[in-house]
Structure 1
Amino acid sequence: MYDFANSCFTTVIVTAFYVLYFKEVVIPRGYPREEGDFFWGLNVSLSMLFVALSSPILGAVADYSGSKKKFLRFYSLQCIIFTGLLFFVQEGDIIPGMLFFILANIGFEGGIVFYNAFLPEISTSENIGRISGYGWALGYFGGLTCLLLVLPLVSGGFTPENLLNCRLSFVVVALFFLIFSLPTFLFLKERAVPKAPPAGQSYIRAGFLMLYDTFREIKRYRELLKFLLAFFLYNDAIATIIAFSAAFAQDTLHFTVRENIILIIVINITAAIGAFLFGFLVDRIGAKRTISVTLLIWIVVVITAYFAQTKAAFWIIANIAGTAIGSSQSASRSLIGSFSPKEKSAEFFGFEAVCGRFSAIIGPLVFGTVSSLTGNQRYAVLSIGFFFVIGLILLQRVNEQEGIKAARLAEQ
């Protein structure tokens, strides 16, 4: 249920609505729209920077102390609280609008690190792709459900008489996250056995030493390192598209708020189907080949989006992207899980968080800067395509079977 719960944040806040509210309402009138792209990119980048720097250490501490669930609960509640506080952000409140979003996004992204670390504990090498795919599919249905709940509130757009409803939508998201994450908080079991740290050492120090041991043994996980380099690049592009897709549709193709929400509702359905079906494909042909297929789809999406001139064309392109977005992230999560010794799962997903979050610092800044300098979001979209191409090339250097073998040997 956690996938169902937390997807409301990335769907409504990051992708569909708060990005538009921030650019149209929070940024004072008179600012160029391209400046809004720059500030929004800065929001995403700063929050990702914090998660990238803290995740490996916290992941090591969580593995050592057997406390992944405690960290998951802490970060989730942080996201919920600061999402609710977005209600108080109004026109001209740039600093509070940025601060509350950054803290909420840190909570969301930090929680994912520890949630993903449970995957090797609840799956096997035979079904890890399906389990991951089920989670992503359920997550997209969660995002869809929350979008339907807030649609009556936001359909009126950013007219003065509807701004209160817009702000109430942020409270709805916070409550949705809280309510549907309760089953995870109450019933998910922490299977890891806590290890007492050496005498005179705290869990923090023990976590640093555990992380150091991983670096020392890193030659055993060469395929993981090669994959993370590829992941760094293509995830950069995916994170940027998630952060700016609604803004591109509104500013370049003149979608209304309601049209944007409806489009993202439909994309959530195609994304859920894609994540579900590609989960079976992972188990049949392997995660690496599956990711390669999705990256080819992404390259086609970027090129066609650059040339799109009508709303109808963008509808088609966006739904093709929908099939790739969930499947590429689900397959990536499966590959990380396959490359992770169970006792180091949180730590390895912490490494994945470093690559993913550092890449998510670069992409939004690149998009926002190119859009601001050129005054044209199409050039910004095209610049993101290079990350997909290079990521696909580097991915071909990964030997999936060797990566799995190294992880299993480490468990013996």
Structure 2
Amino acid sequence: MNTAAAPEAMRPSSELEAGSPVSHKGRILAWASWDWGSAAFNAVMTTFVFTVYLTSRAFGGEDQASAVLGAALAVAGVAIALLAPVTGQRSDTGGRRKLWLGVNTAAVAVLTGLCFFVFPRPEFLLLGVTLIALGNVFFEFAGVNYNAMLAQISTPRNIGKVSGFGWGMGYLGGIVALLIVLQLFVQPSFDWIGASTADSLNIRLVAVFSALWFFIFALPVLFAVPELPRAGRGARLGFFASYGLLVRRIKAIYRTSPHTIYFLLASAIFRDGLAAVFTFGGVIAAGTFGFELKDVIFFAIFGNVVAAVGAVFGGFLDDRIGPKAVIIASLAGLLLAGTAILVLGNGSYEFLGLAWAGTTTFWIFGLFLCLFVGPAQSSSRAYLARLAPHGESGELFGLYATTGRAVSFIAPALFTLCITVATPLAATGEAQRWGILGIMVVLLAGLLVLLPVKAPDRTEIAVVPAA
């Protein structure tokens, strides 16, 4: 990558520009505000509320609607994998990181707001899944630029703490957004026009709320963090020529810093396992441990609080012992907690005079899972930010998104395989619990691949030669 840059540009400080009227703390708060706002799309639209609405009977049946949604999201995943690295690269070299963060965030907000017009009838299913799928694409593009900004609002000495603070804000923002949605739209505590269930008005208004929530809380970062200066003075490459440059840069990274590529591969594997913990956690809580919907939501709220605490605490540890140590400890904790849930199941036990049922098992060890997920996610982002050459974080985080998408089928596939194998062998209602084993295998594989990877220097920024 660019070795022609002046030594000052490569010093181990950050991409932060001097002379801004906004303090460093102000920039960090503004940056984390985006994470807080993005939870409306993640938690409300794609996890707990709107996709549940889209896969209801109103759209032609749960099975058919789920299949259509899954297909749309699969297409979106391919688009993200193909386009994310190049969009990150071009925003870096063109000095337009903040611009594209704003453009992509606005696109997500608009697409989310348009979900208001998805009426509960089968003919609107295609519109709904298209809007959600496109929203996912632009959300990932925005995330590439947002994650790359981590180097602009932090230094090598506090990058872990700042990353953890951002993740924590995301978890807490999800809790607040979900509570507001529940109180105003899903289970309103008072009568108002937004509580009307006619034509699912209350759920469609959730989309408007989510769009406004994300847009409003995304604004501070666009005002507080300066734009990244354009890298170099060469002619701009065409879009397709950017792929050639990307390949040459990947080869250059592998020659000079192969452990960066190794980390991308390792993190792709264990991040798939981390995503599966949240994706299938509610399914296991309901199917194996008998949680009702309200109990699942209640657990989700507590789980997000615990995950936020873990992310913030993990960020402090990150700056002291390094991101690799935090990730390894977190993955080990996840394996222990997941194994406890798998082994204990929904049985009743007594230990040292204390008796508990299966629901208590899930509450205890399920919250431990949440506690370790936060630090693993936060330190993974900080790890890569430490490896990114000055001014080229966007391209590297684009590769981060691509590698994650490339293996995102592994945990769901192993989860399903383990249940399928266990079905004829386990007692009735017990097979689903063995899906946990599939998730644990993915986390263990990610941990084993990570172990030989060289940890990044906590006081220096990587420099990679030009391709």
TM bracket (short chain): 0.7 to 0.9
Equivalent residues, number: 405
Cα distance, 1:403–1:181 mapped onto 2, change above 3 Å: closer
Partner residue of 1:47 out of 50, 69, 76: 76
Partner residue of 2:239 out of 190, 204, 223: 204
The answer to whether structure 1 residue 15 and structure 2 residue 47 are counterparts is yes
Match of 1:179 in 2: 216
CA contact under 8 A between 2:383 and 2:456: conserved in structure 1? no
CA contact under 8 A between 1:72 and 1:114: conserved in structure 2? yes
1:192 alignment partner, SS class = coil
Q: Which aligned pairs between 1:386-397 and structure 2 lie closer than 5 A? A: 386-397=441-452
Letter in 2 for 1:272: A
How big is the shift at 1:244? 3.4
CA distance in 2, matches of 1:89, 1:298: 41
CA distance in 1, matches of 2:58, 2:42: 19
The answer to whether structure 1 residue 148 and structure 2 residue 148 are counterparts is no
Q: Flag the structure with larger Rg.
A: 2
Partner residue of 1:324 out of 366, 372, 380: 372
Q: Which aligned pairs between 1:22-171 and structure 2 lie closer than 5 A? A: 22-25=54-57, 28-29=60-61, 41-87=70-116, 88-90=118-120, 92=122, 93-152=124-183, 153-155=185-187, 163-171=200-208
Letter in 2 for 1:212: V
More relative contact order in 1 or in 2 (CA 8 Å, sep 6+)? 1
- Single out whichever of 165-174 and 188-197 deviates more from structure 2: 188-197
Partner residue of 1:300 out of 331, 336, 341: 336
How big is the shift at 1:285? 1.1
Match of 1:314 in 2: 362
Letter in 1 for 2:239: I
Letter in 2 for 1:386: V
CA-based RMSD: 3.1
Q: Which runs of 5+ in 2 are unaligned?
A: 1-32, 189-195, 347-357, 424-428
CA distance in 1, matches of 2:460, 2:121: 55
CA contact under 8 A between 1:233 and 1:391: conserved in structure 2? yes
2:239 alignment partner, SS class = helix
Cα distance, 1:23–1:210 mapped onto 2, change above 3 Å: same
How big is the shift at 1:4? 1.1
Letter in 1 for 2:141: G
Match of 2:351 in 1: none
CA contact under 8 A between 2:260 and 2:387: conserved in structure 1? yes
Match of 1:260 in 2: 296
Cα distance, 1:205–1:21 mapped onto 2, change above 3 Å: closer
How big is the shift at 1:318? 2.8
Letter in 2 for 1:177: F
Cα distance, 1:313–1:273 mapped onto 2, change above 3 Å: same
Per-residue CA distance 1:272-294 (angstroms, 9 max, x = gap)? 11111000111111100100111
Provide the TM-score with structure 2 as the length reference.
0.77
Task: Looking at secondary structure, tell me which structure has more helix per residue.
Answer: 1
CA distance in 1, matches of 2:121, 2:435: 27
Cα distance, 1:394–1:202 mapped onto 2, change above 3 Å: closer
Per-residue CA distance 1:124-148 (angstroms, 9 max, x = gap)? 2111111111111111121121111
Q: Which runs of 5+ in 1 are unaligned?
A: none
- Single out whichever of 401-410 and 89-98 deviates more from structure 2: 401-410
CA distance in 2, matches of 1:379, 1:38: 24
Match of 1:290 in 2: 326
Letter in 2 for 1:15: T
CA contact under 8 A between 1:367 and 1:380: conserved in structure 2? yes
Provide the TM-score with structure 1 as the length reference.
0.87
How big is the shift at 1:118? 1.0
Cα distance, 1:242–1:15 mapped onto 2, change above 3 Å: farther
- Single out whichever of 263-272 and 211-220 deviates more from structure 2: 211-220
Match of 1:346 in 2: 394
How big is the shift at 1:252? 4.3
Match of 1:223 in 2: 259
